[in-house]
Structure 1
Amino acid sequence: MNTRPLIASAGAAITLLALAGCVPNSPAGGDTAAITVDSTTDDCVVSATTATSGTLTFSVTNSGDQVTEFYLLADDGLRIVGEVENVGPGISRDLVVQAQPGDYFTVCKPGMVGDGVGRASFSVTGDKVELAGDVQDQVDAAAANYVAYVKDQVGQLVVGTQTFVDAYVSDTPAPGGESAADLYAITRANYERIEPVAESFGDLDPAIDFREADVPPEDEWTGWHRIEKDLFPPTAEENGGTEYVPLTADERTYYADKLVADTQLLYDAVNDPEYTVTIDAISNGAIGLLEEVASGKITGEEEIWSHTDLWDFQANLEGARVAYEGVRDIVETKDPELVTTIDDRFASLESTLAEYGSLDEGFVYYDELSTDQVKQLADGVSALSEPLSRLTATLVG
């Protein structure tokens, strides 16, 4: 099952300095040699699990038979704070970062798709490092790291979607024993974390994620929610008084293949060498994800058949947190009070949502929530949305 650790705190920040081959070995904190990484077919062996704050060099060697990537992730297990990609078999490349004290994860990704292998904890001790460079350096680093994050999420989505549709079409459990219904909500999390990116590519989001109520009469309804309705068939009363007719085997295959193809188009788009993001797009993405929660998840309209809205809620919240964290240090220099308020309200909403479950263990189904519980969640969303709505103006002002 494609799960990731949930966001626990704002965490430590790290600034990417270089992502290039043939980078001279810089001292890892007070050490004299680079931290070596051996990426194999099924493991990611890192020579150290701790380092001292400052300049760290990870020397990555690919001992496998597929092109690979190496990531240094923040404490939430989501934010990519440094990566080196396209490391061919038998090749070595270096990742150089300025590391602040805190907890991180290391992971390799043979084939450059999926969850990766050999994920392990990595900690940095010592004093906070004063980062060199001007605001433009921070802007460039934030954009590079967010693009890396988007590519990672979509890469996982490609693999997860294929596993999901295989189980759906065959009506048999996936290799991990999960049914298509079990995989539905957790696989969608990768999409929900970066939904504003998909929306930026015109027709892709409508094809992948439109609800039945959003589709114009003249358009074909495809994507996740078309399959959702078939997996969680409504009663006649829930279906406008009409008995729901399950899809045929050929129809299942058609919609499954269409979802896989459209997801691949999204993957191709974010992996285009020309793809990038602006700093305001990152912050607006954070704002947009909270708007997604307010307009669809908190109303129970997004997952009207499966009632898995809280899974989407969590993923949207995680994606908003990642986008916000990417620009947080820049905003803090301009309006530290705004950052404090956003930090506090993120933590409060995350705590409230955690009362109802997690992506790892599952959530309460939305139709099981009381009116008071829905109001509690809605109030938390509203409390965060107000200061977050000021993020972009502060960032670029």
Structure 2
Amino acid sequence: MRPARPASVVIAAAAALAAVTGCTEKSDAKDGDHVINVTATDDKCQVSKKEFPAGHVELAVENKGSKVTEVYVLFPDDRVVTERENIGPGTKQRVTAEVKAGDYQIACKPGMKGDGIRQAVKATGGKAVKRDPRLDKAVAAYRAYAQAQADETLPKAEAFAEAVKDGDLEAAKKAYAPSRIGWERTEPVAESFGDIDPKVDVREDGLEDGQDPATDWTGWHRLEKALWQDKKIGTREKELADLLIKDLKDWQSRVGKAEITPTSMANGAKELLDEVATGKVTGEEERYSHTDLVDFKANVEGAQKSYDLLKPVAKENDAALVTELDEQFAALDKLLDQYRPSTTSYDFTSYDKVGKADRKELSDAVNALAEPLSKLAAAVVK
């Protein structure tokens, strides 16, 4: 999960259109109508247009602030159309998205907390995006994959919850990491709904200002702390186990209704690599259980699933990119395999046993994959 997730779920921030400030800047003429130039600072955003043609839209984001930021395109109800996290100070990124005609918000979140700075925008025109039929098949296949992951997660999560409610510390510890694999593989889909991720996957330092960990912190990581750090299961933990299952059933029931497009699949793959870079490689995600490599592998598997489904079209449009992605996925998989007894096992090395040099090697491999993966969305819509 992300370092911090707002209650409204527009997490993170960076780069976005700023009408809130009333500031705009001229669009780069050479980019055309489909590009929105977004300039983010620590306290405002500037956007080049408030209306744009529906279809494939590209956000050209520049972070001129001193804080890491993120940018979101949101439906009016806060569901996520697309996002890009971890845009560092002084850096630029381009994000391609498929947007239907209608009203949206672009949200920037300097420092990655709160609801962010938002701007109302409109996509105009009534024509649907024309897609290669293979991309429609890719979307259908990915939707089925996401649903299957949710369906397979529930029994594993229920086994974890039952162990917690039985007060069986060791059984709960054993069931914890397997219960998270399906979630981690498809996390961008869950996060697109806006309100589920903060309930089930937030870390204590991801709570919003004013939230009390004693009453407002729920989900897997709250239970992780009880099991590994506090080493006890009380009444509150048993209540939280039931609440976790309730929230995961909500996720399971909504997966089939998620807004999924070829570009959201591609951008979601990049988001999963960002999750690895900012949480798993650093050891922050599973700071008590040290099961980070299980999450790490699940994130990579989810990213590769999206890539594999989009690959036939991407290969025709950008063969060099596909060659690089194949090489980098293979290199990262080979590196991860060094930390488990077999390629079918999820019994990974405890991350507190992984030294600094090895963590650096893992981080370098993630970054080597994340950079070309950020170009996948553009490649599938050429």
Q: Contact between 1:143 and 1:279, CA under 8 Å: does it hold in 2?
A: yes
CA distance in structure 2 between the partners assigned to 1:255 and 1:139 by the alignment = 40
Which amino acid counterpart does residue 286 of structure 1 have in structure 2? A
Tell me, yes or no, if structure 1 residue 216 matches structure 2 residue 212. Answer: no
Which amino acid counterpart does residue 184 of structure 1 have in structure 2? Y
For 1:39, the equivalent position in structure 2 comes to: none
Secondary structure in 2 matching 1:329: helix
Secondary structure in 2 matching 1:179: helix
Which amino acid counterpart does residue 139 of structure 1 have in structure 2? L
For 1:197, the equivalent position in structure 2 comes to: 189
Give the TM-score normalised by structure 2. 0.62
Tell me, yes or no, if structure 1 residue 310 matches structure 2 residue 293. Answer: yes
Deviation string for 1:252-297 (max 9, x for gaps)? 221011100110110111134xx44111011111111001000100
For 1:267, the equivalent position in structure 2 comes to: 252
1:206 deviation in Å?
0.9
For 1:146, the equivalent position in structure 2 comes to: 142
Which amino acid counterpart does residue 241 of structure 2 have in structure 1? A
For 1:325, the equivalent position in structure 2 comes to: 308
Tell me, yes or no, if structure 1 residue 377 matches structure 2 residue 362. Answer: yes
Deviation string for 1:290-310 (max 9, x for gaps)? 010001000000001001100
Secondary structure in 2 matching 1:305: coil
CA distance in structure 1 between the partners assigned to 2:166 and 2:210 by the alignment = 30
1:396 deviation in Å?
1.8
For 1:287, the equivalent position in structure 2 comes to: 270
Secondary structure in 2 matching 1:299: coil
CA distance in structure 2 between the partners assigned to 1:245 and 1:216 by the alignment = 26
For 1:161, the equivalent position in structure 2 comes to: 157
Tell me, yes or no, if structure 1 residue 355 matches structure 2 residue 347. Answer: no
1:136 deviation in Å?
2.3
| 346 and 396 in structure 1: CA distance in 2 versus 1, 3 angstrom threshold | same
Q: Contact between 2:294 and 2:346, CA under 8 Å: does it hold in 1?
A: no
1:187 deviation in Å?
1.5
Gaps of 5+ in 1: 1-133, 234-243
CA distance in structure 1 between the partners assigned to 2:159 and 2:289 by the alignment = 19
CA distance in structure 1 between the partners assigned to 2:132 and 2:380 by the alignment = 12
1:227-266 aligned within 5 A: 227-233=223-229, 244=230, 246-248=232-234, 250-266=235-251
CA distance in structure 2 between the partners assigned to 1:294 and 1:223 by the alignment = 22
Deviation string for 1:43-96 (max 9, x for gaps)? xxxxxxxxxxxxxxxxxxxxxxxxxxxxxxxxxxxxxxxxxxxxxxxxxxxxxx
CA distance in structure 2 between the partners assigned to 1:266 and 1:356 by the alignment = 31
Gaps of 5+ in 2: 1-129
Which amino acid counterpart does residue 263 of structure 1 have in structure 2? L
Q: Contact between 2:167 and 2:233, CA under 8 Å: does it hold in 1?
A: no
Q: Contact between 1:158 and 1:260, CA under 8 Å: does it hold in 2?
A: yes
Which amino acid counterpart does residue 161 of structure 2 have in structure 1? V
CA distance in structure 1 between the partners assigned to 2:245 and 2:147 by the alignment = 16
1:168 deviation in Å?
1.4
Q: Contact between 1:193 and 1:318, CA under 8 Å: does it hold in 2?
A: yes
1:1-397 aligned within 5 A: 136-172=132-168, 179-219=171-211, 220-233=216-229, 244=230, 246-248=232-234, 250-272=235-257, 275-357=258-340, 360-397=345-382
Secondary structure in 1 matching 2:132: helix
Q: Contact between 2:164 and 2:233, CA under 8 Å: does it hold in 1?
A: no
| 361 and 324 in structure 1: CA distance in 2 versus 1, 3 angstrom threshold | closer
Greater gyration radius: 1
Higher relative contact order (CA 8 A, sep 6+): 2
CA distance in structure 1 between the partners assigned to 2:194 and 2:379 by the alignment = 28
For 1:3, the equivalent position in structure 2 comes to: none
Compute the RMSD of aligned alpha carbons. 1.7
CA distance in structure 1 between the partners assigned to 2:250 and 2:316 by the alignment = 38
Runs of 4+ in 1 over 3 A off after TM superposition: 244-247
Q: Contact between 2:190 and 2:255, CA under 8 Å: does it hold in 1?
A: no
| 291 and 371 in structure 1: CA distance in 2 versus 1, 3 angstrom threshold | same
1:361 deviation in Å?
4.9
1:393 deviation in Å?
1.4
Q: Contact between 1:342 and 1:387, CA under 8 Å: does it hold in 2?
A: yes
1:165 deviation in Å?
0.4
Deviation string for 1:216-265 (max 9, x for gaps)? 243311000000001111xxxxxxxxxx58452x2122101110011011
Q: Contact between 1:143 and 1:276, CA under 8 Å: does it hold in 2?
A: no
